[in-house]
Amino acid sequence: MKQPFGYRTTALEAVEGIDLTGKTAIVTGGYSGIGVETARALATAGASVTIACRDYERAVSTAQELNEATGKDHVRAGELDLSRQASVRAFAEAWLKEHSVLHILVNNAAVMACPYGTTQDGFETQFGTNHLGHFALFKGLLPALQRAGGARVICLSSTGHALSPVVFEDIGFEHRAYDPWLSYGQAKSANALMAVGIQRRYASQGIEAFAVHPGGIMTSLQRHMTDEEIQSRGWVDENGKVNELFKTVEQGASTSVWAATSAYLAGRGGQYLHDCEEAVIHDVVPENRTGVMRWAVDPDNADRLWEVSETMLAQLSEASD
């Protein structure tokens, strides 16, 4: 059955008619950009939502604003810095003390095209934050997802995944020149593969996962780019006007919300979604960058990434003992 949604669907339209009363949700990076609109839509539908963010005071303020706007008291704030594994563990432990089940986990937060650096734990910044932070968060919250009797994990990827597969031989750019866009592409491929990995391991336990490309949206994600670079890519014109093909933040959040709530997607996990539809798989990058590259949904790549991620986190744990 074809879904009545598309490119310009908003998050509130995607959740219209859906009752999430009694459901719990976590949205990382839920105080800005499409994260806010994802949290707003889920809360409007009745879910109890935690926005997990690096700046706790800002998260508290955003939660209050969302509660006032929705006329509900369903949004709470949590402190989470995905670039620090200690923060990820602390957030998961604190959340589990207050909640027994988790129905929706939206791995929304990200950094993009930043200069070379490493996280506090020594991982290359974009891979360490965008992928390993969310991987550890999922593992930490797994007991609550398993108890939900039906849960969904949404991994925010990007058309940028087409820039690079996961380069398993040199994830940390130790033996090749660092390129911020190749790093971003690798991390976004990892996000997509994480959804495949979750689906393969936990679908039988009622946990389904989807990768999502939200579309082109101007948000704080572009903060590491210069005005000249943004203009050269055609994202804005010389007057700063945003490209008309870009989505609003409300539209950009729609596929995440659709993936998290749609009955149509039941039993269809592991897929890469965009514009509220299932993406076509490509072996060669198309000129318009639509769909998903096979490397980002390949089961063997997903298994390899899972093993590598567990090893990286295990080595970090051993080093801290």
Q: Which of 31, 56, 178, 184 is catalytic?
A: 184
Collapsing DSSP to helix, strand or coil, 301 comes out as helix
- The alpha-helical segments, DSSP class H, found in the chain are 11-15, 33-44, 56-70, 85-98, 125-126, 134-146, 180-202, 227-232, 249-252, 254-261, 299-320
Angle, alpha carbons 6-7-10 (nearest 5°): 80
Q: Tell me, yes or no, if 184 is annotated catalytic.
A: yes
Question: Could you tell me which of 187, 204, 189, 185 has the C-alpha nearest to residue 272?
Answer: 189
Q: Which residues contact 175 (CB under 8 A, 6 or more apart)?
A: 169
Question: Could you tell me which of 92, 91, 104 has the C-alpha nearest to residue 42?
Answer: 104
User: Which residues are known to be catalytic?
Assistant: 184
